[in-house]
Amino acid sequence: MTGPLPPATRAPADDARATDHGPASDDAVVWRPSPAHRERSRLLDFARREGLADDAALAAREVADPGWYWDAVVRDLALPWHRPYDPSRVLDLSGGVAWPEWFPGGGFNYVEGAVDRRAAGEDRERTAIVWEGDDGAVRRLTYGELGAAVNRAANALRAMGVAAGDRVGIFLPMLVETAVATLACGKLGAIYVPMFSGYGADAVAARLRDCGATTLITADGARRRGATVPMKVTADAALALAPDVRRCLVVRRTGDDAPWVAGRDLWWDDALAAAPAACPTAPTAGNDPYMVIYTSGTTGKPKGAVHVHAGFPIKAAHDLAYCFDLHADDTLFWMTDLGWMMGPWAIGGGLLLGATLLLFEGTPDFPAPDRLWRLVEDHRVTVLGVAPTAIRALMSHGEGWVSARDRSSLRVLGSTGETWNPGPWRWYFDQVGGGRCPVINYSGGTETGGGIVGCTTVRPQKPCAFTGPVPGMDADVVDDAGRPVRGAVGELIVRQPWVGMTRGFWRDPRRYEETYWSRLDGVWVHGDWAEVDADGFWYIRGRSDDTLKVAGKRVGPSEVESAAVAHPAVQEAAAIGVPHPVKGETVVVFAVLKPGRAPTPELADGVRRTCGELLGAALRPEAVRFVAELPKTRNAKIMRRVIRAAYLGLPAGDVSALENPAAVEAIAALGGADRRSRDSGP
């Protein structure tokens, strides 16, 4: 957190404009914590155990002494260390602020805390993982069964030649074996490389080559929307482009015939059946890498963020404990793929806290629009995470699909990946949570290991807002000179290092330093526009590289998109800036209409007028173009960069995360038609 601030910028107080939830403006507080939320809160318990009055006092202390804070976190979460670190020397900055070393000298392997101690202790009969497939199949593993499976998988990988420090690609849908594979790599001290299950062969091969992987774990296929996706075919095509991968371990998921290379390929269940059920956990140093996770860049080359044992998993557990208030009696379900950071985040953080983790292979609206809500009902989910864009899509099916399912188990709602619009946020809050569950808005990134800004269950909430920096994050909003700004859009920055931040990009330290540390001396510049309002609530206004600058005014795309979605015919929207001979840049909005609404020039003009009324005439879009769908990643994040490139006929950069290429083709066709129209004009 940023520490004590002037009254207008301090974290929202418990009584900050608090009202009962219900009809209110988008600038009003619509939820406040009940006594039950405060009594259960892990965050408040943590503060009190440290002799502090509340979370605000904890925030002030953490900014003043980050080493003290993270040492206290490790003690509060009871994380096991096989070699103690020196509590008087928790943070070593001798390598510079961009390269901190946390817990120097300490020995930590996150698998000991996530699996070993629970599998061998009183938690061994508690459920660790519940899995549901696209086809409705269900599996459950206790912590004891998970421990045995992880041990066998680790022994199988060792028999295949995998050793500490080796890179292992994991190209799987969300299965039980997916979690087991990640944990088995950690147990050996190997480094796993999660990959989006929808990648094509080139994207898989590029990551395998870049990290120097020697082994790939994949499946014969996956099930998606009732159809079979032949993953082994894609994997084989990738391996033909990545010759250094010598072994391929294959999970039987569909039972369909799969191509096979004798001597290289091995069935997962055969390998585990031959492996012992006991395996010692490698005594890794806390700063040994355990994962390289790739994130798309604006160029054609993705960035491999390096994460360590005493980093990302601790940050994930920390954020789940103190933002989402996750306890061992909770069931956590985050709608994600392993290739997005929320997959490793949920597995590592959820299991470190001893919770039950629900994994789901399918999509939220198949075979019917109530699939997501049925998962909540059937598995008694208590903490649910869904991307805002997924909520926008589910809204179109109506409220009946939600109300027909029992959601009484829900205690906390979560979201990340995209900025909210008020309408969808309220639908999530009112229809899904019944107005009783806080929406923990959470934003950070693959490189940060978790959230920079977020909410907690002990502070009031406004629609779409964050209550402030995530505990442990010395974040601020600043102008181009690094001066704090309030009531205006500025750069989101972090002033001090934190546990969970990447240890650079794989074999590319210069790119890491240039990306985050080159703009303001000694400060992490995240690349998001943010704003803090007069009540101390924080908002993300879009990516810095997505910023719209119209007639000298800077505005985030999310503000324009929220205005467009305010029109009753618009389901979701994406706003981009395009060159303009007079204004320098103007706005084009791509809108998806609600079912039953037909695209017409009159409707487009109506959306433009709505934006102008809400944002001012200067920010009224130059054009509104209707499309059937917006280009998105598998976890429903809208790819504005790709939209802009397609519309303007420019190179799109890395598009390996894109799920629906047809959406890009449609936008490119619109852009081509618009350019031809302009060129043929007077």
CB 294 within 8 A of CB 447: no
pLDDT at 13: 57
Q: 570: pLDDT confidence band, cut at 50, 70 and 90? A: very high
CB-CB contact of 476 with 491 (8 Å): no
Identify any residues that bridge with 529 across adjacent strands, giving them in sequence order: 491, 542
* Amino acid identity at 38: R
Residues 6 or more apart whose CB falls under 8 angstroms from that of 370 comprise: 401, 402, 404, 405
Q: How many CB atoms lie within 10 A of CB 51?
A: 8
Secondary structure of residue 324 in the 3-state scheme = coil
Give the contacts of 682 (CB within 8 A, at least 6 positions apart). none
Element (H, E) at 420: none
Structure confidence by residue, pLDDT tens digits, 405-415: 999 999 999 99
Average pLDDT over residues 340-351: 96
DSSP per-residue letters across 430-480 = IIITTTTS-EEE-EEETTTTEEEEE--TTS-B-TT-B-EEPTT--EEEE-T
H or E element in which residue 98 lies: none
Unique residue bearing structure tokens 């080359």: 301
In angstroms, what is the C-alpha Rg of the chain?
A: 24
Quick check: 634 pLDDT over 90?
Answer: no
DSSP-derived pairing of the beta strands 303-308 and 623-626: unpaired
Averaged over 282-294, what is the pLDDT?
97
* Residue 528 pLDDT grade (very low, low, confident, very high; cuts 50, 70, 90): confident
pLDDT band at residue 59 using 50, 70 and 90 as cut-offs: very high
**In the structure, what pLDDT confidence band is assigned to residue 493 with cuts at 50, 70 and 90?**
very high
pLDDT for 585 beyond 80: no
> 671 phi and psi, to 5 degrees?
-65, -45
CA nearest 534: which of 114, 151, 2, 12?
12
Using CA atoms, how far apart are residues 264 and 338, in angstroms rounded to an integer? Answer: 24
Strand 127-132, strand 356-360: pairing: parallel
CATH of the structural domain 546-679, one choice from 3.30.300.30, 3.60.150.10, 3.30.450.20, 3.30.420.10: 3.30.300.30
Convert the pLDDT of each residue in 313-324 to its tens digit. 999 999 999 999
pLDDT at residue 625, rounded to an integer? 96
CA 608 from centre of chain = 32
Please tell me the distance from the alpha carbon of residue 231 to that of residue 234, in angstroms, as a whole number.
5
What pLDDT digit, counting tens, does each position of 551-564 carry?
A: 555 566 877 888 89
Which residue matches tokens 């709602």?
413
Q: Quick check: 615 pLDDT over 60? A: yes
Measure the CA–CA gap between 82 and 90, rounded to whole angstroms: 16
Which of these, 384, 455, 380, lies nearest to 130 by C-alpha position? 380
Which residue pairs, CB below 8 angstroms and at least 24 apart, start in 82-89? Answer: 82/107, 82/108, 82/109, 82/112, 82/283, 83/107, 83/108, 83/283, 85/286
**pLDDT of 202 above 80:** yes
Evaluated on CA atoms 129, 131, 137, 138, the torsion sign reads positive
pLDDT digits (tens, 9 = 90+) for 219-248: 999 999 999 999 999 999 999 999 999 999
pLDDT single digits (tens) 402-442: 999 999 999 999 999 778 889 999 999 999 999 999 999 99
| pLDDT value, residue 6 | 31
Instruction: Indicate the SS3 state at residue 316.
Output: helix
Residue % of the chain over a pLDDT of 70? 92
Around Cβ 405, how many Cβ atoms within 10 Å?
Answer: 17
Cα(105)–Cα(487) distance, rounded to whole angstroms? 44
Provide the greatest CA pair distance for the chain.
79
What residues have CB less than 8 Å from 473, skipping those under 6 apart? 1, 451, 452, 453, 494, 498
pLDDT at 17: 37
Angle, helix 312-322 to helix 342-352, in steps of 10 degrees: 70
d(CA 493, CA 602): 42
Q: Tell me, what's the pLDDT at 120? A: 96
In which residue are the tokens 């459920």 written?
A: 127
pLDDT of amino acid 2: 37
Peptide bond before 367: cis, by omega within 30 degrees of 0?
A: yes
pLDDT winner (highest mean) among 1-10, 417-426, 504-513: 504-513
Model confidence over 363-392: pLDDT tens digits? 999 999 999 999 999 999 999 999 988 898
Condensed to tens digits (0 to 9), the pLDDT of residues 80-119 reads 999 999 999 999 999 999 999 999 999 999 999 999 999 9
Strand, coil or helix: 145:
helix
- E-strand ranges in 456-596 read 468-469, 475-478, 490-494, 524-532, 538-543, 548-550, 553-555, 570-580, 584-593
3-state SS class at 173: coil
Residue-level pLDDT at 455: 98
Q: DSSP string covering 107-126, please? A: B--HHIIIIIHHHTSTTTTS
Quick check: 8 pLDDT over 50? Answer: no
Which pairs from 30-36 meet CB under 8 Å and 24+ separation?
30/426, 30/429, 30/435, 30/461, 30/462, 30/463, 31/429, 31/435, 31/438, 31/439, 31/460, 31/461, 32/460, 32/461, 33/438, 33/457, 33/458, 33/459, 33/460
- Which whole-number Å values give the CA distances from 528 to 444, 497, 541, 555, 661, in the listed order? 9, 18, 7, 12, 26
Backbone angles phi, psi at 539, to 5 degrees: -140, 140
Strand-pairing partners, residue 591, are: 573, 626
**Concatenated DSSP letters for 212-246?**
T--EEEEES-EEETTEEE-HHHHHHHHHHT-TT--
Q: List the helix and strand counts (H, then E) for the chain.
A: 22, 30
Residue 578: pLDDT above 50? yes
551 phi-psi bin (left φ>0, alpha ψ -120 to 50, beta other)? left
395, 571 in Cβ contact below 8 A? yes
For residue range 67-84, list pLDDT tens digits in order. Answer: 999 999 999 999 999 999
What is the band of 507 on the pLDDT scale with cuts at 50, 70, 90? Answer: very high
Confidence of residue 650 (pLDDT cuts 50, 70, 90): confident
More confident residue, 328 or 576: 328
Count Cβ atoms within 10 A of the Cβ of residue 212 and give its class: 0-12 exposed, 13-18 middle, 19 or more buried: middle
Average pLDDT in the chain: 91
Query: d(Cα 101, Cα 593) in Å, to the nearest integer?
Result: 50
* DSSP letter string, 129-140: EEEE-TTS-EEE
- Specify whether the CB–CB gap between 372 and 386 falls below 8 A: yes
Band (676; pLDDT cuts 50, 70, 90): confident
Give the pLDDT mean for 13-17. Answer: 47
The percent of residues in the chain predicted with pLDDT above 90, rounded, is 78
Distance CA 305, CA 292 (A): 5
Q: Could you tell me the residue ranges of all domains in the chain?
A: 546-679
Write out pLDDT tens, residues 115-174. Answer: 999 999 999 999 999 999 999 999 999 999 999 999 999 999 999 999 999 999 999 999
Strands 101-102 and 91-92: antiparallel
Average pLDDT over residues 33-40: 96
- What was the pLDDT predicted at 638? 85
pLDDT at 1 over 60: no
Query: Residue 557 half-sphere exposure, CB side, CA atoms within 13 Å?
Result: 27
